[in-house]
């Protein structure tokens, strides 16, 4: 259902070193380059599922969990990435709005 690679866990461990571990939300983020799954710190809400994995609580909408599983949190050259079975459509403008639409700050 949800896995995390050792490399991604190490990055989270470094981030939370000396801090309280807060819940980490998995959500759909939209940007000029299209939609993708992303991570952010956020408390669980009604309608969420909480998955405890490697000492971290990951929260996400139950419907998103059903649509996206299996998911894996891994480390790429661009940072932590969440891969899943979801297929996101490419933006209709090819992602060329960056710099002109102001939504990619």
* Residue 71, in any domain of the structure: yes
Residue 89 has pLDDT above 90, yes or no: no
* Residue 102, in any domain of the structure: no
How far apart (Å, rounded) are the C-alpha atoms in residues 37 and 58?
Answer: 13
Q: 50: how many CB neighbours lie within 10 A of its CB?
A: 11
Query: pLDDT digit string (tens) for 1-50?
Result: 899 999 999 999 999 999 999 999 999 998 777 888 999 999 999 999 99
* Residue 56, in any domain of the structure: yes
Number of domains in the chain: 1
Quote the pLDDT of residue 92.
62
Q: Is residue 43 packed enough to be buried (19+ CB in 10 Å), middle (13-18) or exposed (0-12)?
A: exposed
Residue 105 has pLDDT above 50, yes or no: no
More confident residue, 103 or 62: 62
**CATH number of the domain that residue 63 is part of:** 2.60.300.12
* pTM for the predicted model, two decimal places: 0.81
* Residue 89, in any domain of the structure: no
């Amino acid at each position: 259902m949800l896995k995390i690679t050792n490399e991604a866990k190490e990055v989270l461990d470094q981030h939370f070193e000396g801090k309280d571990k807060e819940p980490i939300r998995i959500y759909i983020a939209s940007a000029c380059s299209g939609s993708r799954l992303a991570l952010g710190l956020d408390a669980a809400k009604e309608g969420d599922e909480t998955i405890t994995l490697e000492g971290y609580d990951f929260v996400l909408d139950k419907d998103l969990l059903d649509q996206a599983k299996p998911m894996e949190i891994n480390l790429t050259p661009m940072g932590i990435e969440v891969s899943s079975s979801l297929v996101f459509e490419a933006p209709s403008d090819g992602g060329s709005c960056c710099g002109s639409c102001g939504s990619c700050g």
